[in-house]
Structure 1
Amino acid sequence: MHDAITPKQAAMLLFVFLTGSSIINIPAPLIAISDNESWICLLAAAGLGLLLLIPLVSLARRFPEMDYIEYGAKLVTRPVAAVLGVMLLTLQVHMTAGIIMDISMFLNSSMMRNTSYGYFTVLISLAVALTARVGIGRFAGMFGLLMLSVMLFVVFNISLASPGFHPAYMIPLFDEGFKPIWHGIYFIYGFPYGELAMFCMLLPLVRSKARTQERTGRKLALAVALNAASLLAVTQATVLIFGPLSGERKYSMFEVARTVYVTEIFERLEALMGYSMIVASFMKATIVLYSAHLTLNSLLKLPRDNRQLLFPLAFLTTLISIAVGLRGQANWDFIVSGIHPLWVFTCGTVPVLVVYAVSLIRRRVV
């Protein structure tokens, strides 16, 4: 059965999902918002992400083999659950289009400037759709090795860049009070920790024995903790290298790789970070598109293994990527930093918490 995964694979997919594009894209805007206090924002947002796991795992345990819309229909009626499902679907489509757009912009601006943006978008969308179509059981096995290579390159990059670190840059300044910290928490919770709400569609696919249900939650929590450690490492490495200019360095790890020079053996390592950026984002886009197709199938009461709507959904995300991407990088940066966190909170976090609260109330009443 290709639509089933083990608890270990679920934890690995969660790590890939949270780390994905964020390991390259998070440092610069987070540092621009919160300066040297970025590590405080990151730890606080990761703590909120761990708390969000509680309702997700609890609902999956209480309603085994039922997805978010199915147990939502039992708890808050089918019409309300359908509205919540449509809200989640809009978030998933937006995220898939955004990740594909981000990869295309990176390739177009940093590697192949003379190639049309549309070519990248179409080819990446096709690759994501084809990978999602094989089923989560198959691509979950492949993503583990790919993510391992990405993390090895990131560690390798940070290690070689370490001679250029300036520890004085790490000291928190608090020159603007706590306002930048709250803003930073808002931003990084929306991208990526609040996004794990969409795992409400993937957790029903986890096949585990009753006695290992608790272990599934622990493995997912470990994945969030490892992701927080990874993002903390790349963010602090960026601060230690560039200092006050860190917030102006788009694709921070790519820029850090450009500073590496160890005699004439190791230099110009940005190609490795370019690979990491593309592969990690590709994996996250695949997970989100697969989750979106599960949501659409559930809304239409189709079998989970139905693949007929996957390519139309991918075509829709391609059109959105091209339409929004043509408006320029500045417009996309505004969407990511301003609109996306609110979208995640409104269409992801709040509905899950509402359904969870209703489940607690009904359990007490019964």
Structure 2
Amino acid sequence: MQEKISNSQLFYIMIGFEIGSTVIFGLGAQAKQDAWLVILTGMLCGLVLMWVYTKLVDHYPGHTLTQMIPKIVGRYIGYPLNLVYILYFIYLASRVARDFGELIGGTFLPKTPMPVVIACFMAVIVYCLSGGIEVFGRTGEVLVPFLFLVAIVSWSIVYSSHIFDIKRLTPILESGAGTIWKAAFPLVVTFPYGEMVLFMMFWPSLSDQTKVKKLGLTAVFVAGILLTINMVNVISVIGPRWIEERVYPLLTVVKLASVANFIERIDAVVIITMFIGGFFKVGSFIYGAAIGAAELVKKESRRSLVVLIGVIIVPLSLIIAGSYIQHVNIGLNKVPLFLHVPLQIVIPFVLLVIATIRKRYGSR
């Protein structure tokens, strides 16, 4: 029997996924004070991509991405391509796990070995996912509103500490629109917006299939606005130069915040909220990979596959890069071009064209 979740539950999961590891990095920093415009540009492209993903669902309602592909391109191309997507989701889960392992290990638990940090992080995720998509959805309903509350309180403290200066956003478009597009594509378009291709694995679990397009577009729009507001705030506090120089710009901002030398050092709370975002991002990738793997091996239960994938991710996250600098370099310069663009943009567009042609001329 197919497990079901409500539209609101999946919406919360998608918002947690989109914010996830995105707030850690200073995306669009090369555009300096226009970094917030880079995120907005990425959001607009993300809306187009989400339209493509949901349009495919219109052609094959009730199907996951890995169920659609063999029907569109045939099983001889479809099954190898499905395997590529499953491995892609597992690889991205390992990358995000490494991101948060480095964040927690470098700030919260500096003396704890990295494998222990990542293994504990993964154990919590796998334990939740072993209860099924319904438990994951209910967790989203509880934790994501908490993220919003913490964000509101944290930024209120930042504003009250008088370190906020909106003039740091000027001059707008100093380097021209070309610089913004160069910063947006492929990195910001594909991370985090294009990664929403993953949720094509979740659509059949929705209790109301008629609102897939509205749900997907709304999630991209809301997440894009939240990320834009966050970047505007970060630039207004530390300025464009520090965004490029700091590994974790948001943490730099909250460390600077202080109200009457009494309310300060709120970075610990912010790290916890980042951890929650990572929980939803890694968890979503694992569950999406488990759904695809279950379909590939024709297995009814996904719980054992969730555990297996979680076990694989722990060592994989440690060996994908020799150092954190190398890890970030691969993630920002190579993964978007060689993995994200083909699997998030090119292949879904090709699938949509073929599916449209099949629908229109299939009877002939």
- The alignment's TM-score, normalised by the length of structure 1, stands at 0.92
- Identify the match of residue 74 of structure 2 among 57, 74, 77: 77
Aligned to 2:12: 12
Contact 2:28 2:36 in 1 (8 A): no
Q: Cα–Cα, structure 1 residues 66 and 2, in superposed 2: closer, same or farther, change >3 Å?
A: closer
3-state SS in 1 of match to 2:207: coil
- 1:275 equivalent to 2:281? Answer no
Aligned to 2:198: 198
- Cα distance between partner residues in 1 of 2:313 and 2:114: 15
Q: Quote the sequence identity (%).
A: 19
- Identify the match of residue 213 of structure 2 among 200, 217, 224: 217
- Cα distance between partner residues in 2 of 1:361 and 1:245: 50
Aligned to 1:339: 334
List structure 1 segments (4+ residues) > 6 angstroms apart after TM superposition: none
- Cα distance between partner residues in 2 of 1:72 and 1:153: 41
- Identify the match of residue 290 of structure 2 among 288, 293, 305: 293
Q: Cα–Cα, structure 1 residues 348 and 297, in superposed 2: closer, same or farther, change >3 Å?
A: farther
CA deviations 1:313-355 (Å, max 9, x no partner) are 1121111112135x11110110221122121121233222221
Contact 1:2 1:137 in 2 (8 A): no
Aligned to 1:364: 360
Aligned to 1:30: 28
CA deviations 1:190-246 (Å, max 9, x no partner) are 21001001111111211226xxx1x33213222111101110111111111111212
Counterpart residue identity of residue 244, structure 2: G
Aligned to 2:347: 351
- Cα distance between partner residues in 2 of 1:176 and 1:293: 44
- Cα distance between partner residues in 1 of 2:276 and 2:232: 23
Gaps of 5+ in 1: none
Q: CA deviation at 1:12?
A: 2.1
Contact 1:29 1:247 in 2 (8 A): no
Q: Cα–Cα, structure 1 residues 3 and 339, in superposed 2: closer, same or farther, change >3 Å?
A: farther
3-state SS in 2 of match to 1:46: helix
- 1:164 equivalent to 2:163? Answer yes
CA deviations 1:100-143 (Å, max 9, x no partner) are 11111011111221111111011112222222221111111111
Contact 1:12 1:144 in 2 (8 A): yes
Contact 1:165 1:237 in 2 (8 A): yes
Q: CA deviation at 1:360?
A: 0.6
CA deviations 1:139-185 (Å, max 9, x no partner) are 11111221111121122212221221122210246555445322321
Q: CA deviation at 1:265?
A: 3.2
Q: Cα–Cα, structure 1 residues 360 and 341, in superposed 2: closer, same or farther, change >3 Å?
A: same
3-state SS in 1 of match to 2:299: coil
Q: CA deviation at 1:262?
A: 0.7
Contact 1:195 1:348 in 2 (8 A): yes
Aligned length: 357
**Cα RMSD after superposing both structures:** 1.8
Contact 1:108 1:117 in 2 (8 A): yes
Gaps of 5+ in 2: none
- Identify the match of residue 309 of structure 1 among 275, 300, 305: 305
Contact 1:11 1:219 in 2 (8 A): yes
3-state SS in 2 of match to 1:114: coil
Counterparts of 1:56-71 in structure 2 under 5 Å? 56-71=53-68
3-state SS in 2 of match to 1:164: coil
Q: CA deviation at 1:55?
A: 2.4
- Cα distance between partner residues in 1 of 2:299 and 2:353: 27
- Cα distance between partner residues in 2 of 1:358 and 1:302: 29
- 1:21 equivalent to 2:16? Answer no
- The alignment's TM-score, normalised by the length of structure 2, stands at 0.92
3-state SS in 2 of match to 1:309: helix
CA deviations 1:75-101 (Å, max 9, x no partner) are 210121112212212221111101111
- Cα distance between partner residues in 1 of 2:263 and 2:48: 42
Contact 2:21 2:278 in 1 (8 A): yes
Of 276-285 and 53-62, more deviation after overlay is shown by 53-62
Counterparts of 1:127-206 in structure 2 under 5 Å? 127-162=124-159, 163-172=162-171, 174=173, 176-186=175-185, 187-206=187-206
Q: Cα–Cα, structure 1 residues 156 and 346, in superposed 2: closer, same or farther, change >3 Å?
A: same
Aligned to 2:234: 238
Contact 2:24 2:274 in 1 (8 A): yes
- Cα distance between partner residues in 1 of 2:302 and 2:27: 39
Contact 1:69 1:85 in 2 (8 A): yes
Q: Cα–Cα, structure 1 residues 145 and 172, in superposed 2: closer, same or farther, change >3 Å?
A: farther
